[in-house]
C-alpha cells in the first residue's frame, strides 16, 4: 500500500519535472511556427491558431539571415577555441592540484573560487578600455580570453575531482618502470582522465555558448558578435516590430547544439556537475 503510494508520488513528480523542463521549450518551438503577421496582430495562445501557422518559413528566413549566420559561426568558433584552450590549461593546473604538493596551491584554489563569484559586469568597462588599446576589441580573441578565464575555475574543479579518483598507483608503477613523471602523465593518466576532461569541456562550452555580458559589450559588429547578443539585437524586415516568431526560430536553432550535447552526454554532464561542485 505504502509502496504503491510512493510509486504514484514518484510518477507525479517525474511528470512535474518533465513539464517544468520541457513546457517552455515546447512553447518557444510552438512560437517559432506562428506567422509573423499573426504576431503583429496579436495571437495569444500556446499553439498557432488555425490559419496562422508559418510552416518552416521562419526557419528558412532565419537561416538566410546574414547576421544570424555570422553569429552562429562566431559562437561555434569562439566557444570551441575557448573550450579547447581552457581545458588544456585547466588540465595542467588540475593535475598539479590533485597530484603534486607545492606552495601556492591554496592561492590557486582561492583565486578560482573568487573568479567563479566575480561579477562580470564590473569588468566590462576596464576590459573594453584595455581591449581597444590592444586592438582586440570586437575580435574573436577579445572574447576568447575572458571566456577562458571565467571557465577555468569550473574546469579546474571538475578535473581535479576526476583526477583524485584515478588510481595513481598505475602512474607510480610506470615511474618505477623507468618512465619520467611527464611520460607517466601522458601515457597512463591522460587516457584515464579523458572522460573527466571531456566533461569539463562540455561545461566550458555551455558557459561560452551562454555568455551574454561580454558578448554585447566587447563586440560591435557581426565580426565577433555571438549568438545571445545577436538574438537580443535581432531585427527582422520590419524594424518596428520585434519579430517574435523569427526570434523564436533563431532561439530554437541556437538551442539545438545544447540539446544534442545533452542527449549524447547526459551522464557525463551530471557526473561533472555533481563532482565539480560537491565532492562525494
194/260 with CB nearer other proteins: 260
Cell of 137: 576589441
Distance separating alpha carbons of residues 263 and 257, to the nearest angstrom? 10
Contact 126, 134 (CB under 8 A): no
Please state the separation of Cα 198 from the chain's center in Å: 13
56/134 with CB nearer other proteins: 134
Distance separating alpha carbons of residues 210 and 205, to the nearest angstrom? 8
Spatial neighbors of 147 by CB under 8 A, at least 6 apart, are 78, 79, 82, 86, 207, 208, 211, 214
Find residue 53's DSSP bridge partners: 34
51/191 with CB nearer other proteins: 51
CB of 15 to other proteins, least distance (A): 10
CB of 191 to other proteins, least distance (A): 17
Distance separating alpha carbons of residues 108 and 152, to the nearest angstrom? 11
CB of 188 to other proteins, least distance (A): 14
* DSSP structural state of residue 278: S
114/194 with CB nearer other proteins: 114
CB of 14 to other proteins, least distance (A): 6
CB of 87 to other proteins, least distance (A): 11
191/240 with CB nearer other proteins: 240
Amino acid at each position: 500500500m505504502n509502496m504503491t503510494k510512493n510509486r504514484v508520488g514518484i510518477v507525479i513528480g517525474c511528470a512535474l519535472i518533465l513539464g517544468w523542463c520541457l513546457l517552455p521549450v515546447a512553447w518557444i518551438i510552438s512560437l517559432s511556427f506562428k506567422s509573423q503577421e499573426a504576431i503583429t496582430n496579436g495571437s495569444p495562445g500556446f499553439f498557432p491558431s488555425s490559419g496562422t501557422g508559418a510552416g518552416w518559413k521562419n526557419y528558412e528566413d532565419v537561416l538566410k539571415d546574414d547576421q544570424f549566420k555570422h553569429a552562429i559561426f562566431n559562437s561555434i568558433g569562439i566557444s570551441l577555441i575557448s573550450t579547447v584552450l581552457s581545458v588544456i590549461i585547466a588540465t595542467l593546473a588540475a593535475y598539479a592540484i590533485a597530484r603534486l604538493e607545492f606552495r601556492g596551491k591554496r592561492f590557486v584554489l582561492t583565486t578560482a573560487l573568487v573568479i567563479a563569484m566575480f561579477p562580470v559586469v564590473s569588468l566590462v568597462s576596464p576590459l573594453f578600455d584595455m581591449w581597444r588599446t590592444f586592438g582586440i576589441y570586437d575580435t574573436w580573441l577579445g572574447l576568447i580570453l575572458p571566456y577562458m578565464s571565467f571557465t577555468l575555475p569550473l574546469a579546474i574543479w571538475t578535473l581535479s575531482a576526476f583526477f583524485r579518483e584515478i588510481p595513481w598507483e598505475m602512474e607510480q608503477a610506470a615511474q618505477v618502470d623507468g618512465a619520467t613523471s611527464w611520460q607517466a602523465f601522458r601515457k597512463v593518466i591522460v587516457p584515464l582522465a579523458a572522460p573527466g576532461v571531456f566533461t569539463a569541456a562540455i561545461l566550458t562550452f555551455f558557459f561560452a555558448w551562454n555568455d551574454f555580458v561580454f558578448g554585447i559589450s566587447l563586440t560591435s559588429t557581426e565580426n565577433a558578435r555571438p549568438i545571445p547578443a545577436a538574438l537580443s539585437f535581432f531585427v527582422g524586415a520590419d524594424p518596428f516590430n520585434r519579430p517574435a516568431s523569427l526570434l523564436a526560430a533563431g532561439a530554437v536553432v541556437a538551442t539545438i547544439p545544447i540539446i544534442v550535447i545533452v542527449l549524447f552526454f547526459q551522464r557525463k554532464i551530471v557526473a561533472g556537475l555533481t563532482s565539480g561542485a560537491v565532492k562525494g
